[in-house]
Each structure stands twice: as C-alpha cells, then as structure tokens.
Structure 1
C-alpha cells in the first residue's frame, strides 16, 4: 500500500441523494413542511439545502419508479484526499468509480464506491457555495438564507442512520479502518453481539449510525436527520407537522446521544426524517466507546423519556439505499 504523508480524512457529512416514487409529494414535504430551500433544478433533479447550509446542496431529490437512496456524499478535508481515498480504497479491494465535475450539479470531481453492505458513498472536496437570491438572503453575512422563512426550518443537515443485515462489526471496522470513522457508542444484543454502532468523523456523537437487523436488506436507510438549534424548536416543529396533518413520533429524548427528537416520514418516498437537537459533543482524543446492553437500550437508550408509541412512522419500513 502506498504511504501517505498524512492519512486522507473525511471532514463532514455532505449530502444525501434521494430518489422518490412521488416527486410532487416529496418536494412539498421537504420544501414547504420541513422548509428546505431549493438551490436549483437540473435535468429533473432538485437540489435543496437548509438555511444554514453553505454548500450547493445537502439533499437532492429525483423522480423514480421506486424510492431509494442513490448515494450519501461526504466532504474530504483536503482536495488531494479524494485521490488518496481512491488509492486507499482500491488497495483495500473496493471498486471505485469516478464522477466527473458537473455530473452532480455544483460539485467537482468525486469518487463513488460501495461499503461491504452495498450502501453507496461518495467522497468529494470541491462544491459550489452559491449565495441566496436577494429575496431569500439573510441580513447576516455568516448565514445564507433568512431563518424561519417557512416550515420546520432546520439549520443544517446533521447525520444519517443506515440499516443492514450484514454483521455490524464487519461494517463498523471497515468504516474505522478505511474511512477513519470513530466509534462513539454501540449497542449489543442479548447474546452480547454488537448490532449498532454510532460513529463520527467530527466532534458530534454521530455523523452516521449503522444498525444491523437480520430482517432488512443489506443496504437500507433508516433515517436522515436535520439539526434544530434548541428544544423549543422541536416543540415548534411538532405544531407545524400537526398543522400540515403529517403524522410523527415524539417529541422525546434519546439516552444514546442525549438528543431530543421528532420522527416523521416523507409521504412521497417513505424516507424517515429525524428533527434533532441538543445531544453532546466529544472533544476527548482518547474517547472510549460507550457500550449499551439491550436491556439498557430498551429502558434508557432509545427513549429516555417521551413518546414510546410504535406507529407507521416508527415501524421499521426503511428506504432502500
């Protein structure tokens, strides 16, 4: 394997590319109810971002015969890291496909590859940061759009939660050893076998989670999460969802991550969306992953307090990734 002066690194979660079987409903949900802003539409793909997202898009939506996640984009820390990741991945036996600049609107050259689970990731560095139109522009120079202009109005994309039927340790170790993710918290089942890992490349508790369930396909998405500034924003979101007659679960608080949440589903694609706030940050370089037993998970981990109902929003009907 070629030696690098420094190991390539991922800086943050960039975007999620959603294909939906009902484009009209998905656009209504994400633009009017969630309140994302549309950057542009190119060849049938709509590129959206939250009012505090600087890059060209953090969510893209395209019409399809079925609903699925086409790929999940991650921004590299340095431009040269993209090519370095390509070499590292190929040396690890992972097939890499190059995406030319402009193939995805606003984005420079990138690479795509699949995890052992089949989830498709993309790593890029160059991405346009377009300004908002004058009628949508914030007066704050450190913010793109006017806040609270419409809908739930999250500040930014936060994390993704993936599902697989593949052994959890295999996928988590691949993410750690190949892509540099750090394991922050994890869950074991009644046989003391790891079934969920919460991982990050930033100071967040998780930029992504990987959940193993034998009953699902190898590559599915459990949810995408958007960040709210505080707990009051979660309560406001619940009111807005009620006003739009969109069912949801919550508000509640997780023990794992210590975050407050509301879960809601896009009526166009079926993709579960988490409206998310609070949580805690990790600054310790020698952080030891926190282990949760299944009994602890049921008592405190999933719902520390709040709504414990299990309806169509919380029932496991993930979107294929």
Structure 2
C-alpha cells in the first residue's frame, strides 16, 4: 500500500520582530498559544485539534522553517522516507520531541527548495480550564479574542521555477490531486490548486518569475465559518491600523478572501471562507485561461492580484 498524506498540519514561521508577530497572530488574529519551548511559541485556532498549526520563532529574517503534513497511518512516514529518497530528495529524520508535541518525522525540500515535513504522531493537547470550550467537539472557546478563525486551511507557495513542474512533483511523489489551474497557453501554467482532502486546495503553487529565490511563501490561510466573519475581521484589522487587500471573492475556489500581512515578519495571511468541497472520485481539473483570468482571480471585490505581488522566503 502506498503512503498517503491526510492533511495540512502546520507551518513554522521565523520572524525578525517576534514581539510584533506574536501580538498579531495571538491578539489580532486570535490564535491560542498551546506551549512555549525554548523561545518557540506553538499556536492553533480554536477549532484545531492538534498541538499546533503554527509555530513562531525569532530569527534574523522572515522565512518559513518548514510546512508540516500529517500522514494517514504511522507507517506512512517511513514509507515516504524511502520513496522520497528514491526520488532524489535529501531526507532528514527529526526525532520525537525535537518539535514540541510531535513524534518522529522527516524533513526534505521540494525541487523548488520549499521545506516540507511529514509526520503522523502529534499530541492533541487539552487547553487550560479558562480557555476550554464546554463543547466536547471543540478545543477552545470560540470568539475569545481577535478575529478568531476556526482552523488552518491551506498554504500557497510561490516560485520562480515553472510551477507546473512542482505540481507534477507533488502529484507523483506525495499523492496530491489537481483541482483547478490557470493555463496561459504559450506562456505556460501560471498557478495550480491541489489537495489530498475534499478541500479545493490544501496547497497552491503559483508563478513568481522575478522572485529573489525559488522558494517563496505567497500566503498561509486560516478558515472562517462564513463571509460575515471576514467582514468582522476587517473591522478588527482596521481598528488596529493594519492595511489589507479585500474583501473579495475568487472565481477559482469560489472563496471569500481578505489578505493581511503580519507586521512583524511580512508573512501574508489569508482570511478564508466559503468555497466548495470536492467529493467526486473522477474530478476533472478546472482549467482557467487568459481570457477568463480576471474572473478566475477576482470574481468581485478588491483586485486580489494587484495587492498581492510580493512574497516572503520559504
């Protein structure tokens, strides 16, 4: 049996202004701190069950330390280590406990040099009593602070390489399925949205031809239950004097969006809602062309492309 990725687990961020980043993610966005170990803060949203879906650490410059993916079975980690090594990846083992709450894992890089981690074992740490929800199927109290997203949703990677090559690598080596993509004809594929779950995308890879490095983070996204939550988040961001792009709606994915940057690191965060789910086993990827690119990227609202040109290192 081939190994399988179950879902996006977490993203580990490095920030040059830790105090400002922690304020943004914890107080403004509203993520809860699960644990602090050796200066690294581990956070999650009120509906996230695992120990963390984000970690924050002080560093000289903004970058992504790694993006973590959970497998469907414990033995899948070892199987991926073997298959990825055969595919030419430099696979390194991370021992249990090296990352707080997490069991043994592997780390490697995509051909675009984006750093990935694959794991299975992760604690489902219970919150302290004053933050714990009375609902047995929910981790924290909802709306306790900040914009208050429910859960992590996806990551969007940018690269100066041909994104179609990275799409194929993700499909061939990690089992992702292409859901939607932008085909510019002779100019090649501009972007692709892929998933291993019923989500329209757990990951996207987009072209950024003039990027300083091939491994860029365009954004990470947290999920909100509905469009009204996004409007509420816009009020909260405006009260704090933070500029943002949106709200608007994508044609591709049909998602309601708002983009804002962490003022401490410059990492872009997408506040994400609506969209659709895919359950069809014979799904045919949706192809967007240059003729319908405007609708695909911005169905309505503030232009999602014009305000989101730059990225941070991954």
TM-score when normalising by structure 1: 0.96
Quick one: which of 69, 80, 96 aligns to 1:85? Answer: 80
Shift in Å at residue 26 of structure 1?
Answer: 0.2
Question: Are 1:318 and 2:311 matched, yes or no?
Answer: yes
Quick one: which of 225, 232, 240 aligns to 2:228? Answer: 232
Which ranges of structure 1 fall in alignment gaps of 5 or more residues?
1-5
Runs of 4+ in 1 over 6 A off after TM superposition: none
Shift in Å at residue 317 of structure 1?
Answer: 2.2
Shift in Å at residue 221 of structure 1?
Answer: 0.1
Shift in Å at residue 188 of structure 1?
Answer: 1.6
Question: Are 1:37 and 2:45 matched, yes or no?
Answer: no
Query: What is the CA deviation profile of residues 96-131 of structure 1, one whole-angstrom value per residue up to 9, with x for unaligned ones?
Result: 000000000000000000000000100000000111
Q: Is contact 1:226-1:274 (8 Å) kept?
A: yes
Query: What is the CA deviation profile of residues 204-229 of structure 1, one whole-angstrom value per residue up to 9, with x for unaligned ones?
Result: 00000001221112000000000000
Shift in Å at residue 170 of structure 1?
Answer: 1.2
Quick one: which of 120, 123, 136 aligns to 1:125? Answer: 120
Name the residue aligned to 1:205.
Answer: 200
TM-score when normalising by structure 2: 0.98
Shift in Å at residue 190 of structure 1?
Answer: 5.0
Q: Which range moved further: 287-296 or 121-130? A: 287-296
Query: What is the CA deviation profile of residues 17-44 of structure 1, one whole-angstrom value per residue up to 9, with x for unaligned ones?
Result: 0000100000000000000000011011
Query: What is the CA deviation profile of residues 263-290 of structure 1, one whole-angstrom value per residue up to 9, with x for unaligned ones?
Result: 0000000000000000000001010111
| 1:162-241 alignment, distance < 5 Å | 162-189=157-184, 191=186, 193-216=188-211, 217-241=213-237
Shift in Å at residue 309 of structure 1?
Answer: 7.4
Quick one: which of 31, 56, 59 aligns to 2:54? Answer: 59
Q: Is contact 1:55-1:128 (8 Å) kept?
A: yes
Question: Are 1:266 and 2:259 matched, yes or no?
Answer: no
**Number of aligned residue pairs:** 313
Q: Quote the RMSD (CA, aligned, Å).
A: 1.1
d(CA) in 1 for partners of 2:226, 2:232: 10
Q: Is contact 1:48-1:58 (8 Å) kept?
A: yes
Helix, strand or coil at the partner of 1:65: coil
Shift in Å at residue 192 of structure 1?
Answer: 5.1
